[in-house]
Amino acid sequence: MTGFALDLRKSTATAHRDAESTGFLSRLAVGAVPVAGFAALAAQHYLIYRELESVGERMRADPVAGAFVDPALDRLPTLEADLRELHGRDWASAVSALPATERYTSRLRTACAEWPAGFIAHHYVRYLGDLSGGLMLGPALRSSYGAGTSFYVFDRIPDPRAYKDAYRTRLDALPYPPAELERLAAEAAIAYQLNIDVLRELGLDFPDDLAAAA
Ligand code: HEM
């Protein structure tokens, strides 16, 4: 890997470490979060992706950001299906935003809706993460929680590694000047922090549950 994709990975490596080592995710990976906590994460994802994918619809027409928008990535339908499995037909009434999720969706609305590079930053942090750690986490979540895990499956992306390679090639080819690439990387760091904040708030709402881990 060379070029901007590598720069972006390097500049966000510490943020990535912080995100993957949040207590909530570590406990989720071993089934030590109650199912209500797993469902609360799906609800926060639903609110975040509803905003991200709605910005994506508008970005489709952008000559640069439009190349990143791909229906094969769409997570909203999987989250709706998962929430229906977890909460039943009345799932929408079980979805409420944590303060950190409000901040995240508000950032997507205000900073990205009119700024293609900002949108790419948020797109990268979520979807490349979903195609990496998300796919790794999926089998463990399926064995712990059973229902509501289709978010962690990409039916329409049979070869995630090849997909990520092509994605990084698109990042390397971004036609932005260096200052704009720097702003994009700074926005990716913000996106990581917004994710970390959501995971920390979930960790406070669903603290260590040793009984479930046993
Ligand atoms: C259980 C927690 C996690 C694990 C085990 C994990 C693991 C990984 C691994 C192994 C990669 C490298 C994949 C590759 O080179 O193709 C990766 C990449 C990535 N992850 Fe995570 N991750 C986790 C959580 C997160 C979270 C919470 C986010 C952000 C919300 C995230 C965002 C990303 C991104 C954007 C990349 C691509 C980095 C790049 O190559 O530029 N990850 N992750």
The domains of the chain, with CATH numbers, are 3-208 (1.20.910.10)
170 Cα: distance to centroid of ligand 1 (angstroms): 18
70-121 confidence digits (pLDDT tens): 999 999 999 999 999 999 999 999 999 999 999 999 999 999 999 999 999 9
Task: Give CA torsion, residues 140, 142, 146, 147, to 10 deg.
Answer: 130
Contacts of 193 (CB under 8 A, 6+ apart): 15
Q: Once rounded to an integer, what is the mean pLDDT over residues 179-190?
A: 98
Report the greatest alpha carbon distance in the chain. Answer: 53
pLDDT band at 214 (very low <50, low <70, confident <90, very high): very low
In this structure, which residue's CA is closest to atom 16 in ligand 1?
A: 132
121 Cα: distance to centroid of ligand 1 (angstroms): 14
Please give the pLDDT value at position 80. 98
In this structure, which residue's CA is closest to atom 12 in ligand 1?
A: 132
Q: Residues 200, 100: contact at Cβ < 8 Å?
A: yes
What is the C-alpha separation between 38 and 179, in angstroms, rounded? 39
Please give the pLDDT value at position 191. 98
The set of protein residues with a Cβ atom below 6 angstroms from ligand 1 is 8-9, 16, 19-20, 25, 29, 124-125, 128-129, 132-133, 136-137, 164, 192, 195
Q: Once rounded to an integer, what is the mean pLDDT over residues 50-73?
A: 98
pLDDT band at 208 (very low <50, low <70, confident <90, very high): confident
Work out whether the CA dihedral 59, 63, 69, 71 comes out positive or negative: positive
Q: How far is CA 7 from the centre of its chain?
A: 20
Please give the pLDDT value at position 122. 98
User: Which ligand 1 atom sits closest to the C-alpha of 29?
Assistant: 1
Please give the pLDDT value at position 116. 98
12 Cα: distance to centroid of ligand 1 (angstroms): 10
204 Cα: distance to centroid of ligand 1 (angstroms): 23
pLDDT over threshold 50, residue 175: yes
Q: Once rounded to an integer, what is the mean pLDDT over residues 34-60?
A: 97
125 Cα: distance to centroid of ligand 1 (angstroms): 8
Q: Once rounded to an integer, what is the mean pLDDT over residues 17-39?
A: 96
pLDDT over threshold 90, residue 127: yes
Q: Of 101, 84, 100, which is closest to residue 92 (Cα–Cα)?
A: 84
What are the backbone dihedrals phi and psi of residue 141, each rounded to the nearest 5 degrees, phi first? Answer: -65, -40
Tokens of 123: 């797109």
What is the C-alpha separation between 138 and 157, in angstroms, rounded? 15
pLDDT band at 209 (very low <50, low <70, confident <90, very high): low
Q: Which residues are annotated as a binding site for heme b?
A: 9, 16, 124, 168
Average pLDDT, the chain: 95
In this structure, which residue's CA is closest to atom 6 in ligand 1?
A: 133
Q: Which residues are annotated as a binding site?
A: 9, 16, 124, 168
